[in-house]
Structure 1
Amino acid sequence: MSLPTQVKIVEVGPRDGLQNEKETISAEVKIELVDRLTNAGFVNIEAASFVSPKWVPQMATSAEVMAGIQRKAGVIYSALTPNMKGFEAALAAGADEVVIFSSASEAFAQKNINCSIAESIERFRDVAAAANQHKIRLRGSISCAFGCPYQGEVTPEQVADVVKLMRDLGCDEIDIADTIGVGTPCHVQAVMQRVAQEFPIAQISGHFHDTYGQALANIYASMEVGVSIFHSSVAGLGGCPYAKGATGNVATEDVLFMMQGLGVHTGIDLNQVVDAGQFISQHLGRKAVSRAGNAIAAKRLA
């Protein structure tokens, strides 16, 4: 199986990565992080989340962050929008893409967004229509596509059902997310091949968490079946507040190091991403989770 010659990496650290941090991170630090990532060459950065500050206090400064970043032409700055109120805030903040979300697991949908999968899609109908009206990209994200902390197994068919619903809402891109990191390569390929029957594979992305150390293997397995968009988080930041024990997203530095070794073009400067990872990790007072990032940083000091 041949691999794609180039892939798009969506950097999710500023939103998905930082949203669960207990200590408040200032808007200035978030702005600097986004600016560093912009300068490193990302074409899509998840920068903000317009959710209730009561539920995700860390994202309360999203409007300030979106107003303060140095935007670069051609870069998509995305924002998570759970409802019309969130969409209006994202629109006012100049988001280039809004992200709506559901789950492939009914049990997770109930715990995470307090409604069924069908109800969650219904809630987003107005957001999807407004995004279309304002010519803003719409991305759908499907959590627990490979397993759920509450219901256990999730079948490829269940994932495909949600993909169809999001396709019919008019999503430009759909993320297949391994929220608890339980996916393994053959399972991942089965899911990706099934959903590609419902939505163009060029617009499907893989969002892998590294809880069981399978994220890089799962990215490679996805590439083998034609997936060429992946999400990652600088320094391996993040997790999921509703999935106990789920560690962070796969580290961007590790993904870039692998792509470099495979000769797959990303358009991103790995050294600048290492710098960004070390910057935010120092600010958080802990070591980056990225093995490649820490190794490259240590080598510089040797």
Structure 2
Amino acid sequence: MLASLSDNTKKQYSVSYKAWWQFCNINNINPFEGTVAKVISFLTEQFNKGASYGSLNSHRSALSLLLGNNIGSDECVKRLLKGAYKLKPSKPKYTHTWDPQLVLNHVSNWYPNRDLDLYRLTKKLVILLALCTAQRVQTLSLIKLENINISSTGIKIIITDIIKTSAPGREQPVLFLPYFVDNTNICPATVLSDYIYATKTLRNKNSDNLILTIKKPNRAATAQTISRWIKLVLSESGVDTSIFSAHSTRHASTSSASSAGVCIDTIRRTAGWTSRSHTFAKFYKLNIINEAEFAESVCLSFHSNHTCKSHIVS
């Protein structure tokens, strides 16, 4: 059963199991034979201690795995969760998002790409990948050189590793980065090509990951390292990183694409949400089928804004 869970889910469930073990120990209950009544008592106790609806739902999922699905689907348990939501409704992490133009304006000054040091070129690459694909940092960390296909129209990247949204029968992500011939300063495909060229001599025979660490020996960069680089670029660009994390690039880019008129199906497909998912509408659509449409909607708006400002100055 554990093999069916992602590493993040295992960490999340470990919190629930620790609390459940303590509850069972105090109340002299066999933790592997908890009844619905005991589970309800446990969830009520957690709620009274300050647990949110999301935390209670996580506890329910963890206990369903341990004790059987009848726990999670029980009408009394579901009713308790519904009551907890009404008493303490969950709120989205962000009520608004930042404008990607802030970041694009900033990194457009990092040019020509091949004149940049590795640190700045790497930061430029990861922020453009994050904005133009709306993928999670985990996905970016798993990009392999052997799965990058370069053509005259752009670069296609196939993700073959298991990620958070992977499931039987569900397609793996396919990322597409178009070339922006008229705006090479922030062209994601050009930056990626230049990055591969710059890191060619730094790679050892056993490393096929695209994104490498800065310092020698240059190993595959972890999702945590990439998140740190993205957050640094956000901070340098004027985004308040005390509020917005590296993951907020998904909110900013998908909201920007929606405002630019990109259809919801394209946004879902690009960001990795299923056609039935309400995640974007519920958590990501904040204020402020051409496979290149998504990336173009983010970056080409920079070109038009930059051109207008140039005319005003002249």
Question: Shorter-normalised TM-score: what interval?
Answer: under 0.3
When the two structures are superposed, what TM-score results if normalisation uses the length of structure 2? 0.24
Which is helix-richer, 1 or 2?
2
When the two structures are superposed, what TM-score results if normalisation uses the length of structure 1? 0.25
Which is strand-richer, 1 or 2?
1
